[in-house]
């Protein structure tokens, strides 16, 4: 399969070729979850522990992101994806153990994300499963980090591999995974808006944020409601850290 996706004009109706986003085409905007169910999906049930709730959603999101990425991973190569990109030329940098920012190819970055997440959710001292084991005080910040990293993988899937996802018929599943993460984040404010803004246009297209912007009624483009420019200019990748230390 070709890698020339940026030149593709699928449907041809969403602007210039370089800005064309297949994932915003009406035909692929399925998410298979009614609006009401979306809220219920993430609403903390009475009597359930908040950390327990976060843990179960985090693990579910990890599984789904892993599943979708796994199906297209053969197309995500060091040569095809030399950078970990998101929409709008965003480039995510990896922070190594010493806190040094490094530019790595997308498959490497995603491997780090998956390895880190797998290791973390399997760690009994962080994600306790046994009776009497408790969540650490840093649990929420660890979850925020995982959610942010999973968001980067989702952003890369949309930016670089949506065509393959779509051809495999997995676009509704990816949309649902994105919807799930967004609903969870909207309910519990888990990641910063400078992270999520790269997919704001998709949030709008999928009707995921109408409550937030209902009042002004003017929020129809991919521009931040506060009028800020997205921090996406650089191709040197310096504006956006892939991993903010927590």
Tokens of 116: 């880190």
Residue for token digits 């649902």? 176
Which position among 160, 165, 206, 240 is part of the footprint of Zn ion (CB under 5 A)?
A: 160
Give the Cα separation of 214 and 220 in Å (integer): 10
Nearer to Zn ion, 22 or 76 (CB): 76
209 is in an annotated binding site: no
CB of 102 to Zn ion, least distance (A): 17
Using CB under 5 A, pick the residue from 24, 38, 65, 76 that binds Zn ion: 76
Give 107 or 222: the residue with its C-beta nearer to Zn ion.
107
- Judged by CB under 5 A, which stretch of 15-23, 77-85, 213-221, 226-234 contacts Zn ion? 77-85
Q: Which H, E and C letters describe the chain, residue by residue?
A: CCCCHHHCCCCCCCCCHHHCCHHHCHHHCCCCCCHHHHHHHHCCCCCCCHHHHHHHHHHHHHHHHHHHHHHHHHHCCCCCCCCEECCCCCEEEEECCCCCEECCCHHHHHHHHHHHHHHHHCCCCCCCCCCCCCCCCCHHHHHHHHHHHHHHHHHHHHHHHHHHHHHCCCHHHHHHHHHHHHHHHHHHCCCCHHHHHHHHHHHHHCCCCHHHHCCCCCCCCCCCCCCCCCCCCCCCCCCCECCCCC
In angstroms, what is the minimal distance from the CB of 84 to Zn ion?
8
Residue 78 Cβ vs Zn ion, minimum distance, rounded to whole Å? 9
Judged by CB under 5 A, which stretch of 75-83, 117-125, 187-195, 217-225 contacts Zn ion?
Answer: 75-83
Number of residues forming the site for Zn ion (CB under 5 A) = 4
Q: Which residues in the 83-142 window bind Zn ion by CB under 5 A?
A: 106
Residue (183 or 202) nearer to Zn ion, CB: 202
**Which lies closer to Zn ion via its Cβ, residue 57 or residue 164?**
164
Q: How far is the CB of 77 from Zn ion (least distance, A)?
A: 7
Would the annotation count 180 as a binding residue?
A: no
Residue 190 found at the interface with Zn ion (CB under 5 A): no
Interface with Zn ion by CB under 5 A: which range of 31-39, 52-60, 159-167, 198-206? 159-167
| Residues present in the chain in total | 246
Which residues does the annotation place in the binding site for Zn(2+)?
76, 81, 156, 161
The residues binding Zn ion (CB under 5 A) are 76, 81, 106, 160
């Amino acid at each position: 399969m070709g890698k020339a996706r940026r030149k593709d004009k699928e449907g041809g109706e969403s602007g210039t070729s370089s800005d064309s986003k297949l994932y915003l085409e009406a035909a692929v905007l399925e998410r298979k979850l009614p609006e009401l169910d979306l809220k219920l999906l993430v609403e903390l049930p009475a009597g359930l522990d908040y950390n327990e709730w976060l843990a179960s959603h985090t693990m579910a999101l990890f599984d789904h992101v892993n599943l979708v990425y796994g199906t297209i991973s053969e197309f995500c190569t060091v040569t095809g994806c030399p950078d970990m990109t998101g929409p709008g030329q965003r480039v995510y940098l990896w922070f190594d153990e010493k806190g040094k920012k490094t530019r790595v190819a997308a498959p490497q970055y995603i491997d780090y994300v998956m390895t880190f997440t797998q290791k973390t959710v399997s760690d009994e001292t962080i994600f306790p499963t046994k009776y009497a084991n408790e969540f650490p005080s840093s649990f929420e910040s660890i979850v925020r980090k995982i959610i942010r990293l999973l968001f980067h993988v989702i952003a890369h899937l949309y930016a670089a591999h949506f065509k393959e996802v779509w051809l495999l018929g997995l676009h509704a599943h990816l949309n649902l995974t994105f919807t799930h993460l967004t609903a969870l984040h909207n309910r519990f404010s888990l990641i910063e808006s400078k992270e999520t803004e790269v997919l704001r246009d998709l949030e709008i297209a999928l009707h995921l944020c109408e409550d937030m912007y209902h009042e002004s009624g003017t929020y129809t483009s991919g521009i931040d409601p506060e009028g800020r420019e997205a921090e996406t200019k650089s191709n040197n990748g310096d504006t956006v850290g892939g991993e903010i230390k927590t």
